Amino acid sequence: MKLTSVWVAALLGLLWAAQGSAHPAHHSYAEVEWSAEGTLDVALRVIPEDLEAALSRRAGTTVVLVNTPVVREQLASYLAQHFVLQPAGHAAAPEVLGRDVAYGESWIYFSIAADREQILSLRNTVLMDHQEGQINRVRLLWASSAATLVFTEREPERQLGVIAE
Amino acid sequence: MFKRNILSAFTAIMLLLAQHSLAEGGAVAFSQLGHLLDTPTETRLASGAPGPDYWQQRADYSITVRVDDEAQRIEGSETITYHNRSPHDLSYLWLQLDQNRYALGSDATLTQTTSSFENLSYGRVATMVEQERFDGGARIAFVRDERGTDLRYTVNKTMLRIDLPSPIKAGSSYTFSVGWSHNIVDATLIKARGGYEYFAADDNYIYEIAQWYPRMAAYTDYEGWQHKQFLGNGEFTLELGDYDLAITVPADHIVAATGELQNADEVLSPEQLERFNAAREPGGQRFIVTPDEARANESRRTAGEKTWRFRAENVRDVAFASSRKFIWDAQTVVNGERNVMAMSFYPNEAEPLWSQYSTPAIVHTMDVYSRYTFDYPYPVSISVNGPVGGMEYPMITFNKPRPYADGTYWDERQKSGDKTWERSKYGLISVIIHEVGHNYFPMIVNSDERQWTWMDEGLNSFLQFLAESEWEDDYPSRRGEPEKMVPYMISDRQVPIMTNSESIFQFGNNAYGKPATALNILRETIMGRELFDHAFREYAQRWKFKRPTPADFFRSMEDASAVDLDWFWRGWFYGTGHVDVGIESVKLYQIDSRNPDIEKPWQRAQEEERETGITRQRNEGIQTLVERNPELEDFYSNYDEYAVTPWDYAQYEALQEKLTERELALLSEKANFYAVTFVNKGGLVTPLPLRIEYADGESEELLIPAEIWRRDADRVTKVFVREREITSISFDPQRRTADANELDNHWPPRVTPSRFQLFKESEDPNPMRRYDEEQWKQPIQ
């Protein structure tokens, strides 16, 4: 990533800080499950201010999480970069299906067509490009109840494990 | 449904008496905290209250400071009178120099790590560059005693030690002065609790000045000097005292500060003074500086300076804000026996949100928090809009949320049904409640945030949730409801709440959300509102203007409620387990009456209900050997095993003669014994809120205390004796325990759709449209 592109984006960072606080909390949470069609279905809970700020910085203009084709495309593009199944070639780009945005909780819904016979890893850097200290959690609904993986800047990629039927 | 399990009377009694098997897990989960807590003394009692020997230091300040609006710099001097109320002689004093966090090469900067430069945001790169270049450290001009003689001092990063010519004796006071200056940090570039924001459009600044003057470090009975270096997360604790504050700023600035304004007639225009005096009477919200006046003031460059004077009593810190951009509104309300002036200072950029919600949020916070703790003890409570995301100081808070630059906030650009607009409004209200709420914890209940963040952030987030709940129905709180904490509590990287502030991982969830959730569960599910509220208020009043430690909180909550909560503190505050209880099995037992007239027909009915096996079904109609040869038949060929015989009656009569009346009564008991086995998969023991539904359509709510796990924390069997038939049992149907997995909470099992499935279903056409392809393909207008 070139630093110049970072600086160009400087003028756009005027939105909200996530949840005003002396200790801002930046985190996301996703529930993932395999569908009968073989897609990995994802419900991703985000702090909407953070996601909008990140999308705005990429787009070069203010992005609000409304349900339009343009925003869906921006979201899909962002997720294709930050919510990635690996190894490469065994998963398609995310298809954004919808969102449910409100102050208390905001959810993004998307699917990723993937080769479920593979042992896949997930690289989850959602919003790590936006805020220091971002922590992402992913709950594997097919696994035991406590199977929630934590993704940090230090460890952004984790194995999803053997896919259970 | 059930195959009835037959119990002897003896077995039934034993089943009722012994519903647990013994295992070590329960003993560990319920062992007393014992050595984990500080040993009680006459300073801090075993009850959790301050003891007869309790002491704490005190420091009074007289501070003069000048804000340089050209160079974004402050220069100040202070005279501190330090009261040594400890039983110890002190040969040196420690002061905090929090500004040195921004010194070139500070520990805060040097110890900051980045795992990868990839995907680094603009904000972080800009911060890195600014931190390398900006020198925000404090320059100490002098340290002198009361006679003006220089005192020897040593700066150790964010701490300053003054070596005294002779020790300050226990019970005596010492007065000295410090002069200093420092550059003000650009808080839009470097994350800070104070700093400036520059507005290029009108060439103006908003200054929010905090943790800005050399402040007496706390000297305590439990830790001696609290001089842990300031690395950025662990905020502070200080000594309480009285402050006289003189702030010199450009003459056209409006200043908000901790304390009561002492010279309004010198710094306000006649119109502003008249409004200010009117606003000091209880009544509605009113402007002291109007939006139009603030806008006009932005372009004014009045020559000269003015000095605003404030006095604050019994506070542990002071902060202030200054700008020529400020609108100023106020409302005086009665809180207890005191009139309190709630005030908001904000630029036109914060409108239209701020004039509508800021001051009402201050008033609401004081109203709710005071009910759960004590009356607000100060004359003013202030909310300022500026660059700081959210931060609290006595009587004054900094709150960042603001609408778009064009003055709109979300609703004006949203389509119908898009509720993103809510976030501007609720983001503002929530942060103001939180920061104003910090007046109670830790500004008044003076816990040590540099050591234990949760003691103020957690308690405050809990009260914030209560205040939000009283703002309006279905307020969209982000923290408080137990289910919101589940993703954190089941994640694989956690540290206990009882972790030092600088070492906490997943900070917001650990120090804010989890303790707030824990207290909510304590209140709603474990102690009940009456016991909890009394104990919580007792804690707050015991430690108002004093220094509690975690042990004082834990002990006070138990002392005032007669509820042994050691298991709860152990699990929630010292552990990282989570709640995940499942219903493993349900078995029905009924008492064998031994009366052949009852039992034999029942056995026959059971047999007849049982479906015939497949072989016998298919053999139906095939003539057997015995059927073809009747001579092979004997007594047993047509014997009715369920027929009552004289021998059965004789046995029954013999039994009756041997039993007592009480035993006979038990034999005729018609009750059903449902043995329900609960399994604890998460490790954290919890009460069991249950909903039992009956065949007659009625239901029963039941709350079994957590002590059910006291012998075996892994698996317990509870017997429910009911005359009616139970059709279903649900654990935690109201989601009040933070249970991690709803799938195993029901008997019979229920399918719980995932969030994604619910979304998919909501996207499906409604049932009426599903009958017609043309209809379901047609978009809904």
A143: contact with B, CB 8 A cutoff? no
Residues 3-22 of A with CB under 8 A from B: 3, 6-7, 9-10, 13-14, 16-17, 19-22
3-class state of residue B93 by DSSP:
strand
Which helix (H) or strand (E) covers residue B366, if one does? helix B353-372
pLDDT band at A22 (very low <50, low <70, confident <90, very high): low
Across all residues in chain B, what is the average pLDDT? 90
What's residue A4's pLDDT? 37
Residue B650 within any structural domain of the chain: no
Contact present, B593 and B698 (Cβ < 8 Å): no
Q: Give the Cα separation of B326 and B312 in Å (integer).
A: 22
Mean pLDDT of A111-124: 88
- Render the burial of B343-379: b for 16+ CB within 10 Å, e for the rest: bbbbbbbbbebbbebbbbbbbbbbebbbebbbebbbb
HEC assignment per residue over B495-564:
CCCCCCHHHCCCHHHHHHHHHHHHHHHHHHHHCCHHHHHHHHHHHHHHCCCCCCCHHHHHHHHHHCCCCC
A121: contact with B, CB 8 A cutoff? no
B415: nearest CB among A13, A66, A102: A66
Structural domains of chain B, count: 1
Kindly give the pairing relationship between strand A106-113 and strand A95-100: antiparallel
User: Is the CB of A16 less than 8 angstroms away from the CB of B427?
Assistant: yes
Sequence-distant (≥ 6) Cβ neighbours of residue B297 within 8 angstroms: B252, B254, B289, B324, B325
User: Is the CB of B491 less than 8 angstroms away from the CB of A148?
Assistant: yes
Alpha carbon of A1: minimum distance to chain B alpha carbons (Å): 7
Residues in chain A closer than 8 A to B123 (CB atoms): 13, 130-131
Lowest mean pLDDT among B15-19, B305-309, B540-544: B15-19
Q: Which amino acid is at A138?
A: V
Sequence-distant (≥ 6) Cβ neighbours of residue B532 within 8 angstroms: B519, B522, B523, B557, B561
User: Is the CB of B492 less than 8 angstroms away from the CB of A97?
Assistant: no
What's residue B417's pLDDT? 47
A145: nearest CB among B116, B453, B741: B741
What's residue B37's pLDDT? 93
Give the up-direction half-sphere exposure of residue B299: CA atoms within 13 A in the CB hemisphere: 5
Residue B708 within any structural domain of the chain: no
Asked whether residue A27 carries a pLDDT value surpassing 80, the answer given is yes
B426: nearest CB among A42, A103, A152: A103
User: Is the CB of A23 less than 8 angstroms away from the CB of B453?
Assistant: yes
Alpha carbon of B124: minimum distance to chain A alpha carbons (Å): 7
Encode pLDDT of A139-155 as tens digits: 888 876 557 888 988 88
Asked whether residue B568 carries a pLDDT value surpassing 50, the answer given is yes
Encode pLDDT of B105-148 as tens digits: 888 888 776 656 665 666 667 777 777 788 999 999 999 999 99
**Percent of chain B scored above 90 by pLDDT?**
69
Give me the sheet containing B327-335, strands edge to edge: B286-289, B327-335, B338-346, B380-385, B396-399, B390-393
Residues in chain A closer than 8 A to B763 (CB atoms): 97-98
User: Is the CB of B476 less than 8 angstroms away from the CB of A102?
Assistant: yes
Q: What is the CATH number of the domain that holds B385?
A: 1.10.390.10
Mean pLDDT of B763-770: 61
B279 vs B25 pLDDT, higher one: B279
User: Is the CB of A64 less than 8 angstroms away from the CB of B420?
Assistant: yes
Contact present, B84 and B578 (Cβ < 8 Å): no
Residue B385 within any structural domain of the chain: yes
Mean pLDDT of A99-118: 86
Supply the range of the domain harboring residue B466.
58-573
Alpha carbon of A90: minimum distance to chain B alpha carbons (Å): 22
Q: What is the ipTM of this complex?
A: 0.75
Its sign, for the CA torsion B510, B319, B60, B63, is: positive
What's residue B89's pLDDT? 98
Residue B414 within any structural domain of the chain: yes
Residues 638-697 of B with CB under 8 A from A: 681-682
- Could you say which DSSP state residue B419 is in? -
Residue B779 within any structural domain of the chain: no
A10: nearest CB among B126, B193, B399: B126
pLDDT band at B752 (very low <50, low <70, confident <90, very high): confident
Q: Give the Cα separation of B292 and B294 in Å (integer).
A: 5
What's residue B441's pLDDT? 97
Give the up-direction half-sphere exposure of residue B377: CA atoms within 13 A in the CB hemisphere: 17
Encode pLDDT of B367-402 as tens digits: 999 999 999 999 999 999 999 989 999 999 999 888
Encode pLDDT of B621-669 as tens digits: 999 999 999 999 988 888 898 999 999 999 999 988 988 888 888 887 7
User: Is the CB of A43 less than 8 angstroms away from the CB of B491?
Assistant: no
pLDDT band at B507 (very low <50, low <70, confident <90, very high): confident
pLDDT band at B593 (very low <50, low <70, confident <90, very high): confident
Rounded alpha-carbon distances, angstroms, from residue B192 to A71, A130, B208, B232: 32, 17, 10, 8
User: Is the CB of B681 less than 8 angstroms away from the CB of A145?
Assistant: yes
Residue B632 within any structural domain of the chain: no
B289 vs B660 pLDDT, higher one: B289
A157: contact with B, CB 8 A cutoff? no
B748: contact with A, CB 8 A cutoff? no
Q: Give the Cα separation of B519 and B461 in Å (integer).
A: 10
Q: Give the Cα separation of A131 and B458 in Å (integer).
A: 23
What's residue B668's pLDDT? 79
B116: nearest CB among A13, A139, A153: A153
User: Is the CB of B115 less than 8 angstroms away from the CB of A153?
Assistant: yes
What's residue B717's pLDDT? 96
Residue B578 within any structural domain of the chain: no
Q: Give the Cα separation of B517 and B738 in Å (integer).
A: 8
Asked whether residue B192 carries a pLDDT value surpassing 90, the answer given is no
Alpha carbon of B640: minimum distance to chain A alpha carbons (Å): 50
Q: Give the Cα separation of B668 and B652 in Å (integer).
A: 13
What's residue B419's pLDDT? 46
What's residue B145's pLDDT? 97
Alpha carbon of A92: minimum distance to chain B alpha carbons (Å): 19
- Could you say which DSSP state residue B771 is in? G
A57: contact with B, CB 8 A cutoff? yes
Mean pLDDT of B749-778: 71
Q: Which of A139, A138, A85 is nearest to A113 (CA)?
A: A85
Encode pLDDT of B215-269 as tens digits: 999 999 999 999 989 887 777 889 999 999 999 999 999 999 999 999 999 999 9
Mean pLDDT of B404-420: 50
B281: contact with A, CB 8 A cutoff? no
Across all residues in chain A, what is the average pLDDT? 79
Q: Two tokens at B703?
A: 């709350």
B385: contact with A, CB 8 A cutoff? no
B361 vs B670 pLDDT, higher one: B361
